[in-house]
Amino acid sequence: MHWLVSGVIALIIGLLAGGVAGYLFRQQRFQTELGNLEAMRRRLLEEAEKQARDIVLNAKDEALKTRTEVETELDVRTQQLRREEDRLQKRREQLDTRQERVDRREQQLNKRQSSLDRRANELQEIEAQRREELQKVANLTEEQARELLLERVAEETRQDMARVIREEELRARDEADTRARDIITTAIQRLASEQVAELTTKSLEIPNDDLKGRIIGRGGRNIRVFEQKAGVDVIVDDTPELITISSFNPIRREVAARAMHYLVADGRIHPARIEKVLDKAEKEVEQVMREKAEQAVYDAEVPSLHTEIMKLLGRLYFRTSYGQNQLGHAVEVAKLSSLLAAEVGGNPDVARLGGLLHDIGKAVDFEVEGTHATIGAELARRYGVPKTVINCIESHHHEAEQQSLESVLVEAADAISSSRPGARRESLEHYIKRIRGLEEIARSFNGVEESYAIQAGREIRIIVRPGEVDDLESLRLSREVARKIEETMEYPGQIKVTVIRETRSVEYAK
């Protein structure tokens, strides 16, 4: 029993020692965790304080930045206000200066009005004195004196009016010439185009005169077949090594010239060969016309056109007027019209297309009756060309009323392209006929003593009898002569009409 009790006691003592040891271990662990928590608390506090300091610093930086931006904006607005204030101050000074000028102008007008009133009073007094003198000297009634005075005043007024009209007309003409010259010069300077002048007949060189016999053939068979198939005249004369092909139709003339060139180069000339070569030459000419039409449309910067219009444009490549190639002329007029429209505020696209197609009627005017302007307008209307462009075509020679600015510009561009130096040739016979026509038109008016066409027909000078034609009548005469020239004659460019009235006063000392 004793040992049992001792064991129990020892167990109890062990349990108590273990409990105490566990308590002490837990107490130590609690203290350790408490220390860790305290360290974490201190670390969190330090981080919170650091973040707070960062937030305060950032807030200060933002506040400083905002303040700087506000101050900068205030400075900008202050400068703007100062500039606006300076501008207003200058405006006030300008208004003050203008007001002073207006006041001075008003004073001058008042003085002038006073002078005019005095002048009117003087005129009234002079008129009264003249009326009294007329009645006393001429024994005229007041009614007769009034009529005589009115006649004299009317004569003086007429002379003054003629002088004023002449001065205003010269001033307006100078201003219009200056403005037109600037516009036209600008347009021409911006245009760079080539112009090709061609003859209306085709002359072909042949290696030797023996080929002339082959061309003619036995009994004229070859030349007769060639002329019938080609629709041209072949002139074989005594000119050495040269034959000439003539036809009113430029397309036929070109086809015949090419075919004759091939026949001469090949040496085989007989009816069957002639027909074959003519077919080949015709296809070549058609190909050339297509290519030239496409190139012209590209050069003129015009959008795609109807196929038939393109064919007509190609035919213009073989058409000339006074030696000027009509397709090149059409492209030049298109470019000039577009440039002029851009200068004066017109529609460049309408002017460009109208300029390109303005002479389209010349492609068939030798086959269809009528003027080329009316023929061209009808063709354009048939193939869906816009109405504004049609008006440009039919009115460029005043055969229809011009309905738009572009129509006027196309006419001006046509005149520029046709009348510039070297653009066209003119035969001596036609030149002499035009010179005589100008002088005859001028002499057909009453009061004309003599007329002279000068400057190669670019100017007509008219000498009038001063006793029959006064200054005012001279102005009217120049306009009427110019109008009659426009209505009855055809000429490139423009013709200047100058009326000269010379007054001579002769007296003899005895």
Q: In CATH, what number is assigned to the domain containing residue 290?
A: 1.10.3210
Q: CA triplet 478, 425, 428: central angle to 5 degrees?
A: 75
Tell me, yes or no, whether 225 lies in a domain. yes
Are 364 and 387 in a shared domain? Answer: yes
Strands 496-501 vs 459-464: parallel, antiparallel or unpaired: parallel
pLDDT of residue 439: 87
Report CA torsion sign: 233, 234, 238, 243: positive
pLDDT value at residue 134: 62
* Of the candidates 242, 251, 185, the residue with the CA atom closest to the CA atom of residue 412: 185
Q: Cα(431)–Cα(457) distance, rounded to whole angstroms? A: 8
- Is 385 in the same domain as 433? no
Based on the domain organization, do 325 and 356 belong to the same domain? yes
Residues 414 and 442 in one domain: no
pLDDT of residue 197: 38
pLDDT value, residue 179: 64
Would you say residue 473 lies in a domain? yes
Sequence-separated (6 or more) residues with CB below 8 Å from residue 223? 215, 216, 217, 234, 236
The predicted structure's pLDDT at residue 120 = 84
pLDDT of residue 162: 66
Per-residue DSSP letters for 137-198? Answer: HH---HHHHHHHHHHHHHHHHHHHHHHHHHHHHHHHHHHHHHHHHHHHHHHHHH------B-
Please answer whether residues 426 and 388 qualify as being in contact, where contact means their C-beta atoms are separated by less than 8 angstroms.
no
The DSSP 8-state label assigned to residue 197 in this structure reads B
Which of 419, 451, 470 marks a domain boundary?
A: 419
Q: 301-341 pLDDT, tens per residue?
A: 888 788 888 888 888 888 877 667 788 888 888 888 888 88
Pick the last residue of a domain from 362, 389, 419: 419
> Cβ distance 493 to 455 under 8 Å?
no
| β-sheet bridge partners, residue 243 | 204
Round to whole Å and give the CA distance between 452 and 449.
Answer: 11
Residue with tokens 């080929």: 211
Total number of domains in the chain: 3
The whole-angstrom separation of Cα 202 and Cα 249 is 12
221 and 288 share one domain? yes
- pLDDT, residue 103, reads 85
Give the whole-angstrom CA distance, residue 226 versus residue 264: 13
217 located within any domain = yes
In a domain, 447, yes or no: yes
Domain contains 295: yes
Residue 364, Cβ neighbours under 10 Å: how many?
17
One domain for residues 460 and 395: no
Residue 313 resides in a domain: yes
Residue 374 and residue 305 share a domain: yes
Closest CA to 391 of 380, 382, 383: 380
Same-domain status, 322 and 344: yes
For residue 141, what are the contacts with CB-CB under 8 A and spacing of at least 6? 135
Q: Does residue 225 sit in the same domain as residue 273? A: yes
Q: Are residues 336 and 480 in the same domain?
A: no
pLDDT computed for residue 195 by the predictor: 43
Any domain includes 114: no
The reply to whether 92 falls in a domain is no
> Which of 419, 454, 483 corresponds to the end of one domain?
419
What pLDDT score was predicted for residue 492?
A: 63
d(CA 73, CA 75): 5
Same domain, 394 and 247: yes
Q: In which residue ranges of the chain is pLDDT below 50?
A: 189, 192-200, 421-423, 425-426
Residue type, 351: A
Place of tokens 């068979």: 221
Structural domain for 217, as ranges: 202-419
Query: What CATH number does residue 488 fall under?
Result: 3.30.70.1350
**Residue 297 and residue 206 share a domain:** yes
| CB burial readout 348-361, b (16+ within 10 A) else e | bbbbbbbbbbbbbb
pTM: 0.48
Q: What is the dihedral sign for C-alpha 317, 321, 323, 328?
A: negative
